[in-house]
Amino acid sequence: MSISTPSAQPLSTAITTLGLPKLTSALPYTSWEDDKRLSFFIDSTSCEAVLEPAIMEFEAAGPRKHLYFDPHRVKCAIVTCGGLCPGINDVIRALVMEAHHAYGVASIIGIPYGLEGFIPRYGHPIVELTPEKVANIHLFGGTMLGSSRGPQPADEIVDMLERANINALFVIGGDGTMKAAQAISSEVQARSLRLSVIGIPKTIDNDINFIQQSFGFETAVFKATEAIQCAHTEACGVPNGIGIVKLMGRESGFIAALATLALKEVNFVLVPEAPFSLHGEGGLLPALEQRIRQRGHAVLVVAEGAGQHLLAQNEEKDASGNPVLGDIASVLKDSISKHFAAVNLPYSLKYIDPSYIIRAVPANANDKVYCGFLGQHAVHAAMAGRTDMVVAKLQERFVHLPFHLVTSKRRKLDIHSDLWRAVLESTGQGRLAGMQP
């Protein structure tokens, strides 16, 4: 199945397989997903590359009656990369428990500290993963395997996988990590190795293409609302109080938007997708001044990537290859100080950045359930010989997506959507320059 895009290049949903699955699964099921395909209505909300809304078919995730690998001879590896996110440990635990208890795989190893763990010169010792070792890790945030940022040579990674006789590699990470997994998969295929590479997308920013809600996002939004509530309390506790909360969102403002809608205490929300003005008619500062004069307090939520057009641009990149962001919070605080001094309006400002708290907390109940499904489906896919793909939840169903679909572009908040309209209505900031489509 394929669909046309603005570049006239078809988006194929076909999944690569290592070969014909000839073994019969010993799992005690009466329902199998071997040949099942699911149809979905896809538009630009899910994928900006889609030219016209259309029906697309995807391979269903789930257990297969016919397996490619003999589970008792299989050796698996798990690696976690990039920034922390609620639920990573839950995914690791689900992978280990499913592989061990459902399939009885021969061995499961953990690769420490991200892609660095594949490279001998870093000296990170491999971790043997057993049900006993992962039994309680879901109670904690972070990742028991550790993580790192930055690329590593795909050929050196595959060298290690060959030396260790790995049959299935599970890669947990964000957009950059999925691109790395795709490169690893390409190297594996170039060497004609029988090695399954399965991605499990992780991004606290909720910005992976085709995936409407990534694991850990619901937890992140909930924790963000706690910080917003504190900012509101601080702002209301003094004359002319202003609370600013800075949230994650390099290129996508989903956390800021959803947390704003959840709490209804936010008066201004700034996201990367919607440029805004500070001064003049429709500017943020005059609107903030008016709010303070009328109501005596205000709360601003700003995504970390918002307002970059107001800062000096540079060409620096971080370890993951992302542009280094300017500090929009400092610009806001300095601009507010100058503007309120010029209009002779005293104020009290409290600034809260809960980013690292939000990233490091354990997943909530819904995210734990989500992570469990992702881990189980990833193991099912690998055992059946699927490769070069990710497991994803699409419109409440779990499917297989080829790497090229999720790495083609980062997903962004559509400022022409009902979601952004609801944000503007909730905050009342719709008259600000740039805030309306």
Q: d(Cα 92, Cα 144) in Å, to the nearest integer?
A: 9
- Per-residue pLDDT tens for 23-81? 999 999 878 999 899 998 887 666 665 667 788 899 999 999 999 999 999 999 999 99
Question: Tens of pLDDT along 359-381?
Answer: 999 999 999 999 999 999 999 99
Q: Is the dihedral of CA 98, 101, 106, 107 positive or negative?
A: positive
Q: Are 369 and 398 in contact (CB under 8 A)?
A: no
Q: Are 143 and 256 in a shared domain?
A: no
Q: What is the pLDDT of residue 290?
A: 96
Let me know if residue 9 belongs to a domain.
Answer: no
| pLDDT tens per residue across span 157-207 | 999 999 999 999 999 999 999 999 999 999 999 999 999 999 999 999 999
Q: Is 164 exposed, middle or buried (0-12, 13-18, 19+ CB in 10 A)?
A: middle
Write down the pLDDT at residue 68.
Answer: 98
Higher pLDDT, 38 or 11: 38
Residue 261 lies inside a defined structural domain of this protein: yes
Same domain, 132 and 173: yes
DSSP code per residue over 104-149: --SEEEEESSGGGGGSGGG-PPPEE--HHHHTTGGGSSS-TT----
Looking at the structure, do residues 223 and 367 belong to the same domain, yes or no?
no
What integer best gives the mean pLDDT of the chain? 92
Assess whether pLDDT exceeds 80 at residue 278.
Answer: yes
CA atoms within 13 A on the CB side of 140: 11
Cβ-based burial of 363 (10 A; exposed 0-12, middle 13-18, buried ≥19): buried
161 with 241, same domain: the answer is no
With respect to residue 250, please indicate whether it lies within any of the assigned structural domains: yes
pLDDT value for 29? 81
Q: Which domain holds residue 80?
A: 16-214+362-407
Q: How far apart are CA 47 and CA 104, in angstroms?
A: 38
* Residues 115 and 80 grouped into a single domain: yes
Q: Quickly state the pLDDT bin for 6 (edges 50, 70, 90).
A: very low
In this structure, the answer to whether residues 29 and 67 fall within a common structural domain is yes
Whether residue 157 sits in one domain with residue 60: yes
> Alpha-carbon Rg of the chain, whole angstroms?
23
Which residues, in sequence order, are CB contacts of 135 under 8 Å at separation 6+? 93
For 403-417, write each residue's pLDDT tens digit.
999 998 889 999 989
Q: Residue 113: exposed, middle, or buried by beta-carbon count in 10 A (0-12, 13-18, 19+)? A: middle
Is 50 exceeded by the pLDDT of residue 145? yes
- Both 160 and 235 in one domain: the answer is no
- Is the per-residue pLDDT at 7 higher than 80? no
Residue 350 has pLDDT above 50, yes or no: yes
CA count, 13 A, side-chain hemisphere, 9:
6
pLDDT on residue 320: 63
Residues 201 and 295 in one domain: no
Residue 113, pLDDT above cutoff 70: yes
Specify the pLDDT at position 3.
46
pLDDT in tens, 258-276: 999 998 999 999 999 999 9
Q: Does any domain span residue 8? A: no
- Report the distance separating Cα 56 and Cα 37, nearest Å: 10
Question: Nearest CA to 258 among 230, 233, 229, 224?
Answer: 224
Active site members: 205
Give the span between the Cα atoms of 373 and 62, in whole angstroms: 9
CATH number at residue 139: 3.40.50.450
In this predicted structure, what is the pLDDT of residue 8?
A: 40
**3-state class (DSSP) for residue 246:** strand
Q: d(Cα 198, Cα 382) in Å, to the nearest integer?
A: 7
H or E segment and range at residue 20: none
The encoded tokens of residue 391 equal: 């497991």
Residue type for position 118:
F
Asked if residue 243 and residue 190 are part of one domain, the reply reads no
Give me the percent of the chain exceeding a pLDDT of 90: 82
The total domain count for the chain is: 2
CATH number reported for the structural domain that contains residue 332 in this entry? 3.40.50.460
Q: Does residue 96 belong to any structural domain of this protein?
A: yes
- Is 436 part of any domain? no
* 52 shares its domain with 35: yes
Q: Is residue 10 a part of any domain in this protein? A: no
pLDDT at 46: 64
DSSP secondary structure letter of residue 52? S
Q: Output the pLDDT for position 9.
A: 47
Whether pLDDT at 21 is above 60 = yes
In a domain, 153, yes or no: yes
pTM: 0.93
User: Do 115 and 72 belong together in one domain?
Assistant: yes
Strands (E), 188-262: 196-201, 241-247
Residues 6+ apart with CB under 8 A from 18: 68, 194, 195, 196, 385, 386, 387
Neighbours of 104 (CB within 10 A): 11
- Residue whose pair of structure tokens reads 């947390």 in the numeric block: 259
